[in-house]
Structure 1
Amino acid sequence: MIEQAILEITAELSQAKNIVIVPHKGPDGDAIGSTLGLMHFLKNKGHKVDVIAPNDYPRFLKWLPGNDDVIIYEKDKSNADKLINEADLVFALDFNHLNRVGDMQDILTASQAVFIMIDHHREPSDFANYTYSDAEMSSTCEMVYHFINKLRAVEKITPEIATCLYSGIMTDTGSFRFSATSAETHRVIAKLIDKGAVNHEIHNNIFDTFNENRLQLLGTALQNLRVKPEYKTAYISLTQEELDKHNFQKGDTEGFVNYGLSIEGVVFAVIFIENKQEEIIKISFRSKGNFNVNEFARAHFEGGGHNNAAGGKSQLSMENTIVKFNSILTEYEELKK
């Protein structure tokens, strides 16, 4: 973000504003952590701030400070529309195309507010008045930290802000394992700990809250694991029937795809999850090293994301989706080496 833009945004924030902060549909730890962290920061500056999420999110994120203030658009549309219409500023966090907000797209498109995008996904669109985009950054939460720093307000980071930002960085980097975790990421994490983020408590609250159903669902997922050593690939599938059997709740499959990557020799891991309501197979892709799952998802499964973490979807049946996936693998010589 160029210095002139920072000066203009500083001017925008120099007096109290009505501000709305929006994450993408199906918000993850980075989306919720960044929106809540920024919410606390802006509220402390005297602004009226509302976080409006397009839909609900996993229960293991609902302990984050400020969670009770989040408005779920699909549950409170009329109130959310009113707040968006009254907003002077709208922050778009952790997405770079308005189609990522689902049913909120129309009301946001019609808004007369000034839009500020903060995001680390590739190929951003131009819907925002101000865009802070960096695809090399580990997470949007790390970018929010740098945004606050650019506003020369790091001293205003409270334990609540630090906790939210730490949580998002931790989850989006796979607990600091992914290649986008830079030395600067670790420096930011250290500063957030200094500001009051209690790292072991955050880890426990996010990763150590499995219930019996979720553990049994993980067992089913691992039973369904298939490895294709000739392509250095592993994949998992979960049908709607299997999800229902274990009383599936949003977020229960978070992290399952990473088990494939834990297999020696595997560099490409995938999970296929059936969603009968939306009539799609939801797909998550993960990789190690140089295999670019962002390009793979864009080319074959209407998706995208990052070099080592991306998502996509298929309108085919589970069986036919997996058949398609296996046929595509033969095109990638780098997986055969």
Structure 2
Amino acid sequence: MSTPVSELQALLAEPKQVFITTHHKPDADALGSSLAWATYLKKKGHSVTVVTPSDYPAFLNWMQGNDEVVVFEPRHNERQVRDLVSRAEVIFCLDFNCLGRINELGEFVRQAHGTKVLIDHHQRPEDFADISFSNPKAAATAEQIFEIIRDLGDQDLVDKGMGEALYAGIMTDTGSFRHPSTSRNVHLIIAELLNAHIDLASVHRRIYDSHSEIRLRFLGYILKDKLMVNREFNTAYIAVTQQELRDYESKTGDTEGLVNYALSIEGIVFAAVFIDRGSAVKISFRSVGDFSVADFSRSHFDGGGHHNASGGVSYQPLDATVERFLGLLPEYQAQLVSTPAVPLAVAPPVA
């Protein structure tokens, strides 16, 4: 009986034209797993292009291979990206579970003739891939990438640059190794990455200690004036307007982590951040314990993700979106009040 690894091994037995993509507004796991996988495939003789469906935070620019990433911009390089997708013999979809998560790229990939391979750790994947590595129990897609390289017999090809990209993905998606998803296997993989001479402190510093002054002032404003707490439903939320983003010269990545502050309040079980992006309101949901934000987001805000960490979207105005959210809370009061508010760390949102 064939397995995804054996199918992948057969697929990659000869050099191929490879296309790799990941989700909108890539985070450290999305970009780190994509770039590490790209480097591995290049070492095996494949021709590889990484295309992201949007820009990503500048604090990820240090990753090995970053200078070769193609950022899809429909008004500027649509023809180039369409051509890359159509010519690809193998298309890898990393760290997302439905084609809607890659914007316009989704239809390009859906219509492409190349073999589609999904590598992802989110719940309920869409059935679009020919080969699927879907493991919701994995802490990060970077964890899966390491395991696949190892299972293909090529762990020795993991160099320092690949290792640091994978470490960044695992570190951020586990909340610096504090989430319940931080398994024994995660720590064993980090031990193996240390054999590639990765610099743990440097990776942490480049991601978490590289904020601009104005970004910190933005954070101060948000926590002072925008953080709302509803004790009746053990819920905290933040809503950020377009004008506020402009006032603080917000860049991609500046809203990451806001939801963590809301959930860190003692007694809070459910936290949400609403970001008005103009074309839509992007939402990050986080929870502790048994309350599933994946189910909540999927039911009400066209989203999904993990049990305690998910995202959603609304096409209503910001105020109307928040009002709809607040109006839903009474429906979940029993769950929100009965769930112990254990202070668990949460993953940074992509908002």
- Please, what TM-score do these two structures have when normalized by structure 2? 0.92
Q: Deviations 1:225-276 (Å, cap 9, x if unpaired)?
A: 1112222211111111111000011111111110012111112111111112
The whole-number CA distance in structure 2 between the counterparts of 1:109 and 1:236 is 35
Equivalent residue number for residue 5 of structure 1: 4
Q: Deviations 1:120-142 (Å, cap 9, x if unpaired)?
A: 11111221110010111111111
1:327 shift after superposition: 1.8
1:3 shift after superposition: 4.8
Q: Is residue 7–residue 131 contact of structure 2 (8 Å, CA) maintained in 1?
A: no
1:4 shift after superposition: 3.2
The whole-number CA distance in structure 2 between the counterparts of 1:80 and 1:275 is 24
Bigger relative contact order, structure 1 or 2 (CA pairs below 8 A, ≥6 apart): 2
Change (3 A) 1:44 1:240: same
- Secondary structure of residue in 1 paired with 2:93: strand
Aligned-pair identity (%): 41
The whole-number CA distance in structure 1 between the counterparts of 2:3 and 2:277 is 45
1:319 shift after superposition: 2.1
Q: Is residue 178–residue 308 contact of structure 1 (8 Å, CA) maintained in 2?
A: no
Q: Are 1:110 and 2:99 counterparts?
A: no
- Secondary structure of residue in 2 paired with 1:116: strand
Counterpart of 1:203, as a letter, is: H
Alignment of 1:116-127 (within 5 A): 116-127=117-128
Alignment of 1:273-312 (within 5 A): 273-276=275-278, 278=279, 280-312=280-312
**Alignment length (residue pairs):** 334
**What stretches of structure 2 of length at least 5 have no aligned partner?**
339-351
Q: Which moved more, 1:75-84 or 1:64-73?
A: 75-84
- Secondary structure of residue in 1 paired with 2:24: coil
Equivalent residue number for residue 233 of structure 1: 235
Q: Are 1:43 and 2:39 counterparts?
A: no
Q: Is residue 284–residue 311 contact of structure 2 (8 Å, CA) maintained in 1?
A: yes
Q: Which moved more, 1:238-247 or 1:78-87?
A: 78-87
1:79 shift after superposition: 2.1
- Secondary structure of residue in 2 paired with 1:218: helix
- Secondary structure of residue in 2 paired with 1:282: strand
Q: Is residue 173–residue 181 contact of structure 1 (8 Å, CA) maintained in 2?
A: yes
**What stretches of structure 1 of length at least 5 have no aligned partner?**
none
Q: Which of 270, 273, 278 is 1:271 aligned to?
A: 273
Equivalent residue number for residue 28 of structure 1: 27
Alignment of 1:168-183 (within 5 A): 168-183=169-184
The whole-number CA distance in structure 2 between the counterparts of 1:323 and 1:34 is 37
Q: Is residue 259–residue 271 contact of structure 2 (8 Å, CA) maintained in 1?
A: yes
Equivalent residue number for residue 65 of structure 1: 64
1:318 shift after superposition: 2.2
- Secondary structure of residue in 1 paired with 2:207: helix
Counterpart of 1:162, as a letter, is: G
Counterpart of 2:262, as a letter, is: G
Equivalent residue number for residue 14 of structure 1: 13
Please provide the CA RMSD for this pair: 1.4
1:83 shift after superposition: 1.8
